[in-house]
Chains A and B, each alone.
Chain A
Amino acid sequence: DTAVSQTPKYLVTQMGNDKSIKCEQNLGHDTMYWYKQDSKKFLKIMFSYNNKELIINETVPNRFSPKSPDKAHLNLHINSLELGDSAVYFCASRYGQWQETQYFGPGTRLLVL
């Protein structure tokens, strides 16, 4: 059974479009994250939610809006996509705020043309 799942796995879209990526975890974890990984493999945290509450919001354009309908789901909506948004987006989760291990989803490969 998949612990952290993301949809879609691949996303190819035109500049200016709006798109959403969904993440679900069945681990019972309280904290979820979105990371962006660029072509050089650098992993940068974007957002973190704990029990549906936003606790980390790094310097990310406001075209990116996370939404957590419940603690098992964290979605990412991106408005007005730009070429520089092309990357792999990983969702991750961990138990509570103080448990350490993060479990990553398989990633969503976004290509903006």
Chain B
Amino acid sequence: GQQVMQIPQYQHVQEGEDFTTYCNSSTTLSNIQWYKQRPGGHPVFLIQLVKSGEVKKQKRLTFQFGEAKKNSSLHITATQTTDVGTYFCAGRLSSGSARQLTFGSGTQLTVLP
């Protein structure tokens, strides 16, 4: 079945360093979403990308959607301890049933003070 893979699974960074997580799909996606889950919390929607090659920014976070709409990345500049959590991408198939999102495996980010 269709899979959405994320790397790395875990990332430890020193506060102030940059961080990037990558998301790859085996099939073309109609759109991709990113969610953040704080420790002990629940996933919270961050952003959605729809267009091929789209880039969106939210303060220190930069989101990209690949030209082929099969990959995406989230980059955090100058991480802070508040960035700690698990970041998920979630993709929607561009063909067939569009009723469900497929979540990536997540990247658990630890920021060391």
**Residues in A lying within 8 Å of B, measured CB to CB:** 35, 40-45, 48, 50, 55-56, 90, 92, 97-98, 100-107
Contact = CB atoms under 8 A, between A and B. Distances in A.
Given A41-B86, A56-B100, A102 B106 contact: no
User: Which has the most chain A C-beta neighbours within 10 Å: B33, B42, B48, B108?
Assistant: B42
A62 to B, nearest CB: 20
B42 A106 contact: yes
Interface of B: 9, 31, 33, 37, 41-45, 48, 86, 88, 90, 92, 98-103, 105-106, 108
Nearest to A104: B42
Given A43-B106, A56-B100, A90-B43, 16 more contacts: A40-B105, A41-B37, A41-B86, A44-B103, A48-B99, A56-B99, A90-B42, A100-B31, A100-B92, A101-B33, A101-B48, A102-B33, A102-B43, A103-B45, A107-B41, A107-B42
A102 B46 CA distance: 10
A70 B73 CA distance: 38
B45 A41 contact: no
B4 to A, nearest CB: 11
The DSSP consensus for interface residues of chain B is strand
A110 B68 CA distance: 40
B62 to A, nearest CB: 20
A55 B42 contact: no
Q: Can you list the 4 inter-chain pairs with the closest CB atoms, starting with the nearest?
A: A104-B42, A43-B103, A101-B45, A41-B106
Contact of B45 (A44, A48, A98, A102): A102
Given A41-B86, A42-B105, A56-B100, A104 B44 contact: yes
